[in-house]
Chains A and B, each alone.
Chain A
Amino acid sequence: MSFSLNEVEVTAKKAARGAGYSWGLAEEAGKATRWLCAQGLDGCASLAALLQEPRHASPQLKPGIWSASGVLCPLVTGAALSDFAAQLTEGPIRIVDVAHPQLLLPFAAGAARQTGTVLTLTCEDLVAHTDGAGVDLTHIPSPPGTSDVTVSMGGAMAGFLPKQTRATPDPAIWDVLIAFAARTYAPATDASRRLGAGAGLSDND
């Protein structure tokens, strides 16, 4: 089934919230998943995989190297990459052992817009550039589970992945997101049915 990008964003945001992220990080998850889908990358698969794992760590920031005693959470680390974009002017940042590193891309794009430069991301043998608007992956990789990622300023875009206006996630992956999203819904009670939406007068008039 084909979904609108708005549906992707709303579902991803709810799913991240349902998995226990703060509202602010859930908003980031929604935007990040949407951004990946708009580039033709399977953001839904990365997010669904992340949410099914135990909660990963927040990075300790040392000059040039971000790490933790465990695997890094790409949403927390991505948000930090965007928030601390100015640090990139001091040199590359090596992000050690981050889960589902594809989820860092949208945050790197935000950092690229903030710094007004192309950013280069190196992940194992894969190199991607982003200028904020798009990403120049020449093929859509099958993303690794965890990896080190180095982010640096500079580089040149070598074309764009074509932009997409719809997403077609695997139904099983979509179901995972829907199941996490459902955790944000309050079970109905008699009181909520009666009062919560505040109707009560007949509509047969």
Chain B
Amino acid sequence: MRDPAPTRFPLRSPTQVMRLSRLGSLHQCRLSFMRVLTRTMAAEGWRFTRPVFNIGGDGVGHAVYSATGPERTYSLVAFAHDLPPEMRSDRVIATAWDATFTLFDGVPDAADIDRLSKNVPLQEAGRVSEREISVSRANRSVRLWEHFVDALAAGQQPDPRKTAAVGYLMRTTAVYGSGKLGAADRETIANRPELAVPFQAEMLSVYLTRVFVRDLVQHMADTRGGDQAATLDPAIAQSLGIGNSTGLGMAPFIVNHPVLFNNWIMAREEGIARVRAVKTATDTETATFRALLDRSALSVAHWRSEHPIQVEKLTALRADMAALIAHADTADLTTSSPWNRLYDWAEATLGEDAQELVASLILEPYPDLVDGLAACMADDNADAFRIDGAVTVAATRAALEASFGWALAIDWDAPENCARAWYVSEEKLEPRLGERFDEPIAEYEQPLAPARDAAAAHAALADRAGDQPIATFLLAHPDHRHTIRRAQIAAIAPYGEIHDNTISAAVLPIDMLRAKLAFFGATHFDPRSDRWVRICMYAGAPYPEDLSPATADHWIYPEVET
């Protein structure tokens, strides 16, 4: 029997958790937004239909996929295009894509489709309305797409090795929500229970996109092969995910949303602490852990990247997985706070990547302790923005020291400590990272170096009386206002600040990208450079016809052949 009321266990400290190298080693877990969505849809018995599939033999046209929950219906409106290869780019500078999408609030009528057909294919150059919740686009994996169409049209199944080497037929290159391009604001949907957890609309859009892509490749094969064409093996279809290419645009997000990011990290940390506090595990719980450990090792084995940094990380992670499996084979995972002992062993023995994998994996046997924390992951604290001017200078100094004590002694004028600057380019209005001393960008710098700014504010406060209200300082020094705001936010959101230098010569933006994408539930991070990463989403997930409480959760771990 598990202890019904586990003792309180301390959360890991922000000092430990919020280092970039650790954030860049995060893995998905029970609280990842894709898994929250599939569990919700299965538990609530969502219904799925395809009211429109109007795609010609040339692969051009549109389709509608509707998902209906207890109260509302959402529809993915998909437009399929004929894209010349020379126009295919995952970068935000692209102007055309293989497919474009919007998630519509309800079921669109013909007039809606007509309006959307004139805007959604244009993406950033178009406008949508409050009826639309997200806008996105996807490009084919050219080699896998052609292989699938060729094989199926010839009456054969695709080669499993080629399928595994890529993992998806299309990859999204942007999924815009939260009012972008004129879509509905987050605030207009945040009070709907099914969308209360962050990014549920975007995750639904990608889930339905995967269904569309499967149907489209079959349609193209049927068109080419006629009666000869084979139907795609459902097992191969299930192994496919949707790829995603994510660039720098996402990296500032976690700096710009400290309360939201805090809530994600804190929910997971609370889950980890609760499970570490479990004194005795049941046989079922231990068996769940062991089974998912084996499946997790298989997922790591399937993980491919050619990027030198990731190759090195994967080598270390695979060695650590072998050590972990060997340890778990003989370790007592039942008595004497088994998960705390396992975590402590991992922290003492394994690298950060494997430590975080263990931290995520020990949550798996405990849906009752963990899953409810998803409800805490949204940011509904609109008042956190407002500065409390009555807070004293002394308290403000203490708050800055709590989050940025490590940063106060750094020489922020030394070139290596401020080598980079985040800016927004005139061409595509997207965040970029440049070399401060080589490019004319410093005057356009975005406020994405909270540690440097905190050190500057701390220095400016040095000769102020401790009992003075911070309001007086702010009136005289408006340049520090954004930093004082962050310091007050950090007091209620201790995991909202990265404890590393985001403008150093050594910063790796892919660490910031991975932290965010891991919370989405992404796997198989494949950096294409230090600031650009490909991932896979929903690989192994049940399609709507197979979605049930039995299939909705552990799909993220590939099945081990027996």
Min CB–CB distance B368 → chain A (angstroms) = 36
* Residue B217 CB within 8 A of the other chain: no
Which of B99-107, B205-213, B480-488 interfaces with chain A?
Answer: B480-488
The main secondary structure of chain B at its interface with chain A is mixed
Contacts A4-B184, A79-B481, A85-B389 hold; do A201 and B426 have CB atoms under 8 A apart? no
Q: Which residues of B contact A76 (CB under 8 A)?
A: 475, 478
Contact A197 B89 (CB under 8 A): no
Q: Which residues of B sit under 8 angstroms from A196, Cβ to Cβ? A: 248, 423, 425, 432-434
Cα-based distance from A191 to B425 in the complex (angstroms): 12
Tell me if A24 and B483 are in contact (CB < 8 A): yes
* A80 at interface, CB cutoff 8 A: yes
A24 close to B485 (CB less than 8 A): yes
Q: Which residues of B contact A3 (CB under 8 A)?
A: 182
For B248, list chain A residues within 8 Å (CB).
Answer: 196-198
Known: A185-B426, A203-B89, A205-B143. A191 touches B480 (CB 8 A): no
Whether B425 pairs with A192 at a CB distance below 8 angstroms is yes
Q: How far is the CA of A83 from the CA of B424 in the complex (A)?
A: 30
What's the interface size class on A, roughly?
A: 35 or more
Nearest-CB distance from A33 to chain B (Å)? Answer: 14
The answer to whether B475 and A61 have CB atoms under 8 Å apart is yes
Contact A197–B90 (Cβ < 8 Å)? no
Please encode chain A, from 188 to 201, with 1 for each CB lying within 8 Å of some chain B CB and 0 for all others.
11011101111111
Whole-angstrom distance from the CB of B183 to the nearest CB of chain A? 6
State the Cβ distance, A145 to closest chain B Cβ, in Å: 23
Q: Is the CB of B484 within 8 A of A24?
A: yes
* Nearest chain B residue, comparing its CB with the CB of A28: B481
Of B311-319, B341-349, B409-417, B524-532, which binds chain A? B524-532
Contact of B130 with A by CB under 8 A? yes
Assess whether B334 is interfacial by the CB under 8 Å rule: no
Asked if A204 contacts B386 (CB within 8 A), the reply is: no
Can you name the residue of chain B whose Cβ is closest to the Cβ of A166? B130
User: Chain B residues near A182 (CB, 8 Å)?
Assistant: 426
User: Cβ of B474: which chain A residues have Cβ within 8 Å of it?
Assistant: 24, 79-80, 83
Nearest CB of B to A179, in Å: 13
Q: Is the CB of A191 within 8 A of B127?
A: no
Q: Given A25-B478, A186-B444, are A198 and B383 also a contact pair (CB < 8 Å)?
A: no
A127 within 8 A of B: no
User: Contact: A83 with B387, CB < 8 Å?
Assistant: yes
B429 at interface by CB-CB < 8 Å: yes
Q: How far is the CB of B310 from chain A (nearest CB, A)?
A: 13
Query: CB-nearest residue of chain A relative to B481?
Result: A24
Q: Inside 8 A of B231's CB, which chain A residues have their CB? A: none
* A204–B139 CA distance with the chains assembled, in angstroms: 9
With beta carbons under 8 angstroms apart, the residue of A6, A80, A191, A199 that contacts B179 is: A6
Say yes or no: is A118 at the interface (Cβ < 8 Å to chain B).
no
Which A residues are CB-close (under 8 A) to B85? Answer: 204
Expressed in whole angstroms, the Cα–Cα distance for A7 and B446 within the complex equals 18
Complex Cα distance, B441 from A195, in Å, reads: 13
Q: Is A114 a contact of B388 with CB atoms below 8 Å?
A: yes
CB distance from A25 to the nearest CB of B (A): 5
In Å, the complex CA distance between A192 and B85 comes to 24
A191 to chain B: closest residue by CB: B439
The interface residues of chain B lying within 8 Å CB-to-CB of A203 are 88-91, 139, 245
Instruction: Report how far A57 CA is from B139 CA in the complex, Å.
Output: 52
Judge if A113 is at the interface, Cβ distance under 8 Å.
Answer: yes
Give A80 to B389 CA distance when docked, in angstroms.
8
Which residues of chain B are near A184, meaning CB under 8 Å? Answer: 424, 444
Which residues of the other chain, B, contact A1 by a CB distance below 8 angstroms?
Answer: 127, 182
Asked if A110 and B531 make an inter-chain contact with CB atoms under 8 angstroms apart, the answer reads no
**A22-B479, A186-B424 given as contacts; is B389 within 8 A of A199 (CB)?**
no
Q: How far is the CB of A161 from chain B (nearest CB, A)?
A: 17
Residue of B nearest to A82 (CB): B386
Stretch binding the partner chain, chosen from B32-40, B185-193, B543-551? B185-193
The residues of A that contact B425 with a CB separation of less than 8 Å are 185-186, 188, 192, 196
Query: Which chain B residue lies CB-closest to A165?
Result: B188
Residues of B207-223 at the interface with A, using a CB-CB cut-off of 8 Å, are: none
Contacts of B247 in A (CB 8 A): 197-199
Q: Can you list 24 pairs linking A and B with CB atoms under 8 Å apart?
A: A7-B179, A21-B478, A22-B478, A24-B480, A24-B481, A24-B483, A25-B478, A25-B481, A83-B469, A83-B474, A85-B389, A86-B390, A165-B185, A185-B444, A186-B423, A186-B440, A187-B440, A189-B440, A192-B425, A196-B423, A198-B509, A199-B90, A199-B91, A203-B91
User: Besides the contacts A24-B474, A84-B389, A193-B427, what 20 more A-B pairs have beta carbons closer than 8 Å?
Assistant: A6-B180, A7-B179, A22-B481, A24-B485, A28-B481, A79-B481, A80-B474, A83-B470, A185-B424, A192-B439, A197-B91, A197-B430, A198-B248, A198-B433, A198-B529, A198-B530, A199-B91, A203-B89, A203-B139, A205-B141
Chain B interfacial positions (CB closer than 8 Å to A): 85, 88-93, 127, 129-130, 139, 141-143, 178-180, 182-188, 245, 247-248, 383, 385-390, 423-427, 429-430, 432-435, 438-441, 444, 447, 469-471, 474-475, 478-485, 509, 528-532
Name the 4 nearest CB pairs between A and B, nearest first. Answer: A24-B481, A83-B389, A6-B179, A4-B179
